[in-house]
Amino acid sequence: MKRILIPTDFSENAWNAIRYAVKLFQNESCAFFLLNTYTPAIPSSRFMAPMVNGMQIEDAVRSTSEKGLEKTLERIISEFSNDKHAFELLSSFNLLVEEVKEVVDAYGIDLIVTGTKGASGMEGIFMGSNTVRIIKATKKCPILAIPQCYEFHTPSEIAFATDFNRFYSQSELQPLIDLANTFSATIRIVYVQYEIKALTELQQFNLNILRKYFTNVEHYVHTVSELNSVSRTLEVFSKELDIHLLAMLNYQHSYVERMTREPIVRRTAFHTQIPLLVIPELGMHAVPKKQEMEVAAL
């Protein structure tokens, strides 16, 4: 059974992420963990705890969190009743990112699905600070970020953006392969070229490895010339080929790392308005000798 964590702040953007997740996995047995965190204000005096409607503020905020989760579950059951899906409600007095890491460890989470903006989202912002912090802090499972107002489409066309400069292990790419197999999707390996020149020996090696991993998945390699930025290039590519999901690996000096350096990512820095699958690296990888010999024979 797939275990999926969905943080929510009860905003419509968070609801859109929930809706996407239950539709995406409607034919799979899944345990969904709906998480809401709260951090009550610290009272100015330890002798006078603030009160809300006759309750101490911590109790009041906890109650709001728990009731919000219950209402969310009622809405899910009302709109998407599915015997294959089970739900657990998690209300926690903790910082969101810290609680996400703890839940991932405690429940063996396979995937985090999150909206890109929270209730306090600003216009012109693609990805809010909480989403960015989750991407940067999560090392054990992929994160699927759903843009605000994105209408669900079965992901039959998936783009995997890479510059071929890093060796990927099959275990790192398995979430992408699994998605492609589940939806009989085509993977479009897209390489954004800064200048017209042949791939280096290292890049060609890594491309051959990718092709080997995708042997049982329909896939194509696209080399596109950079427009005024990588993000703009990927946006145009995604629109032209009707891409439903963009996947990237998150590692040191990767595009994902560069785009999440700032606490808030503006649309001018990252334009894509399709779901983004961020796959964390599984540590440093040397090229295994066995695979080196296999690729040499290709």
pLDDT in tens, 100-117: 999 999 999 999 999 987
β-bridge mates for residue 42, sequence order: none
What is this structure's pTM? 0.85
Q: Which backbone phi and psi does 281 adopt, to 5 degrees?
A: -70, 155
Exposure string for 5-42, b = 16+ CB within 10 A, e = fewer: bbbbbbbebbbbbbbbbbebbeeeebbbbbbbbbebee
At 129, the pLDDT band (50, 70, 90 cuts) reads: confident
- At 66, the amino acid letter reads E
At 258, the pLDDT band (50, 70, 90 cuts) reads: low
Q: Return d(Cα 275, Cα 119) in angstroms, integer.
A: 19
CATH of the structural domain 2-146, one choice from 1.10.3720.10, 3.40.50.620, 3.40.50.720, 3.40.190.170 = 3.40.50.620
Q: Where are the beta strands (DSSP E) in 57-121?
A: 85-93, 111-115
Q: In this predicted structure, what is the pLDDT of residue 121?
A: 46
| pLDDT tens readout for residues 169-190 | 999 999 999 999 999 999 999 9
Q: What is the pLDDT averaged over residues 133-154?
A: 91
β-bridge mates for residue 47, sequence order: none
At 42, the pLDDT band (50, 70, 90 cuts) reads: low
Given a contact cutoff of 8 angstroms between Cβ atoms, the answer to whether 3 and 59 are in contact is: no
Would you kindly state where each structural domain of the chain is located, as residue ranges? 2-146, 157-296
Given a contact cutoff of 8 angstroms between Cβ atoms, the answer to whether 288 and 159 are in contact is: no
Q: Return d(Cα 11, Cα 19) in angstroms, integer.
A: 12
Q: What is the pLDDT averaged over residues 136-153?
A: 91
Q: In this predicted structure, what is the pLDDT of residue 201?
A: 96
Q: What is the pLDDT averaged over residues 248-270?
A: 60
Nearest to 185 by CA among 208, 219, 221: 219
Nearest to 92 by CA among 121, 68, 117: 68
CATH of the structural domain 157-296, one choice from 3.40.50.620, 3.40.50.1370, 2.40.50.140, 2.40.50.430 = 3.40.50.620
Q: Return d(Cα 138, Cα 232) in angstroms, integer.
A: 26
Q: Which letter does DSSP use for residue 78 in this model? A: H
Q: Which two tokens stand for residue 70?
A: 């219950």
- At 259, the amino acid letter reads M
How many residues in total does the chain contain?
298
Q: What is the pLDDT averaged over residues 45-69?
A: 72
Strand, coil or helix: 138: coil
CATH topology match: 2-146 vs 157-296: yes
At 226, the pLDDT band (50, 70, 90 cuts) reads: confident
Q: In this predicted structure, what is the pLDDT of residue 263?
A: 46
Percentage of the chain exceeding pLDDT 70: 78
